Structure 1
């Protein structure tokens, strides 16, 4: 993401406030450069959004856990 993209997403110009925004909204501290600018790809940001929304796809090595099914009525 470019600096302009980060400004558009967070609505903030200062790097420190952008970090606080990511901590508040996603519970993560983004990676920063030595000068404080955030390093984040669009795919990482989209994954954070998907995780927050609860719609992450299951990975190949990890099967999605299914809830236990209870019958509504007994079969005859």
Structure 2
């Protein structure tokens, strides 16, 4: 597992975008998440996290095909107003 952070150039190569806001929008569009950003807008993402996002999107994440365990029914404690 590669815990190395993606560099500015890596993010440009992956997204095809130069601006940090455009890179964040690209991640939102393609993976449905807003990446963690520094105060100056730069994205903080490890290669391992990016590869996991790709695997999840492709449906090849280990254990993704396993059936969900039976969950008990949820009963509200009080009625919502």
TM-score range, shorter chain: 0.7 to 0.9
Q: Which runs of 5+ in 1 are unaligned?
A: 67-76
Aligned-pair distance for 1:64? Answer: 1.5
Match status 1:12 vs 2:17: yes
Task: Give me the CA root mean square deviation.
Answer: 1.9
List, as ranges, runs of 4+ consecutive aligned residues in structure 1 with deviation greater than 6 Å.
none
Q: Which has the higher contact order (CA 8 A, sep 6+)?
A: 2
Aligned length in residues: 63
TM-score by length of 1: 0.78
TM-score by length of 2: 0.73
Over alpha carbons, which structure has the higher Rg?
1
Alpha-carbon distance between aligned partners in 2 of 1:65 and 1:27, rounded to the nearest angstrom: 23
Q: 1:25 aligns with which of 20, 23, 30?
A: 30
Higher strand share: 1
